[in-house]
Chain A
Amino acid sequence: DVKVTQSSRYLVKRTGEKVFLECVQDMDHENMFWYRQDPGLGLRLIYFSYDVKMKEKGDIPEGYSVSREKKERFSLILESASTNQTSMYLCASRPILGPTLANYGYTFGSGTRLTVV
């Protein structure tokens, strides 16, 4: 089974801290995604990456950056954490040949619940 692993299930950080959320997938997927989940808003795309060192902004990139130095790892960075970034963050990956699969190839991690105090 494809696994997408997010390093922390729960995180508590202080306002102004630099925060790293890590995501690792073990199936050589080219595409990786970071979503933010808030009640009443569903999941919103922050950033995605087509391949190593490639990244593209999603719908809500402000206040975030990403890094993809290796194919299996996609990091979300909060340069200076703020209380309005308190949320659940979900990582996902997908192979290039995803459309050939019933689920389109998307596999999600279990999420990191971040609280900024």
Chain B
Amino acid sequence: AQKVTQAQTEISVVEKEDVTLDCVYETRDTTYYLFWYKQPPSGELVFLIRRNSFDEQNEISGRYSWNFQKSTSSFNFTITASQVVDSAVYFCALRGLIQGAQKLVFGQGTRLTINP
């Protein structure tokens, strides 16, 4: 079965601190896709990144960076110099190529609060 675990339920930091959101996944598929979404108070899920299992290169986009490590089945998300606008619930998700194809399996979500 496929599973995504976000062990951190809530994180609260002061603005400008760096913060890392953890994501650990389980799948038997050899090819799979990992995603991060942001859910602001308005409710819709905003796509942040997709990573393919065969591409372990880490990615940086402005203040956001992602560390994909197949050896530990982790796909962690770091926000550098956090800002109040980063406050949201963040979800990590997995989509297999064979198992559970067509659906995204989500983690429990991490509520991030950035205090001014």
Chain A residues within 8 Å of B, Cβ to Cβ: 9, 31, 33, 35, 39-45, 48, 50, 56, 58, 88, 90, 92, 102-104, 106, 108-111
Shortest Cβ distance from A27 into chain B, in angstroms? 15
A40:B108 contact, CB within 8 angstroms:
yes
Q: How many residues of B contact A (CB 8 A)?
A: 23
For B42, give the chain A residue with the smallest CB separation: A110
* In the complex, chain A residues whose CB is within 8 Å of the CB of B43: 9, 88, 90, 110-111
Over the window 81-94 of chain B, the binary record of Cβ atoms lying under 8 Å from chain A Cβ atoms (1 yes, 0 no) is: 00000000001010
**CA–CA, A52 and B99, complex, Å:** 23
Given contacts A48-B103, A50-B102, A102-B50, contact A42 B109 (CB under 8 A): yes
A90:B108 contact, CB within 8 angstroms:
no
* In the complex, chain B residues whose CB is within 8 Å of the CB of A108: 37, 44-45
* In the complex, chain B residues whose CB is within 8 Å of the CB of A102: 47, 50
A41:B95 contact, CB within 8 angstroms:
no
* In the complex, chain B residues whose CB is within 8 Å of the CB of A31: 102
| A110 CB contact (under 8 Å) in B6, B44, B50, B107 | B44
Shortest Cβ distance from A5 into chain B, in angstroms? 11
**CA–CA, A85 and B35, complex, Å:** 27
**CA–CA, A98 and B1, complex, Å:** 23
* In the complex, chain B residues whose CB is within 8 Å of the CB of A90: 43, 45
B9 at the interface (CB under 8 A from A): yes
Shortest Cβ distance from A85 into chain B, in angstroms? 18
* In the complex, chain A residues whose CB is within 8 Å of the CB of B105: 45
Given contacts A104-B95, A106-B47, A111-B43, contact A43 B102 (CB under 8 A): no
**CA–CA, A31 and B108, complex, Å:** 24
**CA–CA, A43 and B44, complex, Å:** 12
